[in-house]
Copies of this chain bind each other. A is one copy, B any other.
Amino acid sequence: MTMNRRSLIGAAGLALSVPALPVAQAAEGAAPGAAKAPPPPPVTKILAEWIRGSSYESLPEEVRREGVRSFLNWVGVAIGGSHHETLDIAVSALQPFSGPPQAGLFGRSERFDIMNAAFLNGVSSHIFDFDDTHLKTIIHPAGPVASAILAYAEMKPVSGKDFLDALVVGIEVECRIGNMVYPNHYDAGWHITGTCGVFGAAAAAAKLMGLTQEQTVYALGLAASQPVGLRESFGSMNKSFNPGRAAANGLFAAILAAKGFTSSDRMIEVRRGWAQTISTKQDWSQITDGLGTRYESALNTYKPFACGIVMHPTIDAAIQIRDEEHVKPEDIRSIDLKVHPLVLELTGKTAPKTGLEGKFSIYHAAAVAFVEGAGGEKQFSDRAVNDPRVVALRQKVNPVVTPGIDAAQVDMTVTLNDGRTLHRHIVHAIGSVETPMTDAQLEAKFRDLADGVLPAAQAARVMALCRTLPDLKDAGDVARAGVLGA
């Protein structure tokens, strides 16, 4: 397999178990019997110092570029989720308790205090499980971080450059902390986006708020005290709750630390601190190695399709054949797929009835991609799953488990009614690290998510602001431009 198991995570909350590796590292005060190891480096202080030292100018060009793409993708998914029942419920539950109308919600007209706004935009951006992914940890990095600092930026103006720097800083802290404890921490049952995301939100907020070294250390300590989320919640509204609450918790930590609220100054690394309490693995070098020169945030990826990653190669192949060979669904006699066993194990539903069931049907995925030329949230709706043309075509899909095809690949042969055959072999599907989505593809995804929520002209304006983030005098303009009626 060229694709790591950890990347086989579905857009519909479909997650594969990763075996726990008992690689616990002993440290001072570790349990009796554990091997003696050198004490951990002071990573809490090291991170705080790096957070304070970062600047837009210090960021490599490709890191800036990926930061902008992460932001644009996040705004798109936050707009897309904004009228889901999950958000309707959360908005109505929290309205009676909200503070001053300091920040807006993408795609909606209500305004909240910044901590509630951070929560709600964070929830919205994860509802479709269509947000960004740091494949090494399966963290969805932007949600907790961007939700926290955009709410803050709406209240207190900050430049686009400073905002982008804070976003990168937050994603970096979150993903490095994730690398330190992955996979054991995730396998144990923690929703790693919520547990590590709170650090990202706190770090980014501390950066934007200009906290001192000591305050930044305490913000990280208060963040460590508030991990969010268990994997058992996957499949319920509680899943998107987690990045939202992580955003709010991180912001809460920074706001208290800014006024002098104290914590430990070594909260991440010591015996009864975060990493040794919440994980059986602690690889401190994941925090320190190449900090400031090698950026995890540059490895961020974006899902082109609103479903589990095992179906992505098939959708990619179908769209390529459809668009490049000008194939119409009614011309197709059969669609033969050579696939890895996991594809049928995870997405073997032959007759899905609902959009959600469609996310677990390789038959539907192939068919709808030929019919509609896309694999977005709309292609996994109840409507799409019950469209007669899609239903007819999915009965012509024949997946066959084939040795030599790994789970990130597909080999597709389409036979037309006139006898012609068309073929694609996908090794790295679009959206992988090797074949990233292009800017144009990201923008098409954004437009699709905004469709039905914001007028097309407004969506285009918001997208333009995202694209030009480093040039903005006031990053909060993105939030103001993205609300309903702006």
Contact = CB atoms under 8 A, between A and B. Distances in A.
Interface in A266-287: 266-267, 270-274, 276-277
Contact of A236 (B32, B191, B221): B221
Residue from the set A102, A188, A225, A267 with the largest chain B CB neighbour count within 10 Å: A225
A121 to B, nearest CB: 16
Given A225-B242, A237-B261, A273-B232, A97 B99 contact: yes
Contacts of A276: 189
Closest 6 CB pairs of A and B: A189-B277, A189-B272, A238-B263, A93-B259, A231-B272, A232-B273
B97 A113 contact: yes
Interface string A63-103: 00000000000000000000000100110111011111010
B266 A238 contact: no
Interface string A6-25: 00000000000001100000
Contacts of A191: 225
Interface residues of A, number: 62
A435 to B, nearest CB: 32
Given A97-B114, A189-B271, A274-B230, A236 B264 contact: yes
Contact of A272 (B232, B255, B271): B232
B259 A236 contact: no
B93 A255 contact: yes
A227 interface: yes
Q: Which one of A19, A98, A238 has the greatest number of beta carbons of chain B within 10 Å?
A: A238
Interface of A: 19-20, 31-32, 86, 89-90, 92-94, 96-100, 102, 113-115, 188-191, 194, 218, 221-222, 224-233, 235-238, 241-242, 245, 255-256, 258-264, 266-267, 270-274, 276-277
Nearest to A186: B272
B233 A89 contact: no
A82 to B, nearest CB: 16
A420 B236 CA distance: 73
Contact of A225 (B31, B32, B194, B259): B194
A229 B242 CA distance: 17
Contact of A97 (B102, B226, B232, B270): B102
A264 B238 contact: yes
Q: How many copies does the complex hold?
A: 2
Contacts of A274: 230, 232
A19 B221 CA distance: 25
A230 B277 contact: yes
Contact of A90 (B90, B96, B232, B256): B256
Contacts of A236: 218, 221, 262-264
B225 A230 contact: yes
Nearest to A237: B262
Contact of A255 (B97, B228, B260, B262): B97
A236 B188 CA distance: 29
Given A19-B32, A188-B277, A191-B225, 20 more contacts: A90-B259, A93-B255, A93-B258, A93-B259, A94-B255, A96-B99, A97-B100, A97-B102, A97-B115, A98-B113, A189-B272, A221-B236, A225-B233, A225-B238, A231-B277, A232-B267, A233-B263, A238-B262, A238-B267, A241-B263
Nearest to A194: B225
Contact of A261 (B86, B235, B273): B86
Given A99-B98, A99-B99, A264 B225 contact: no
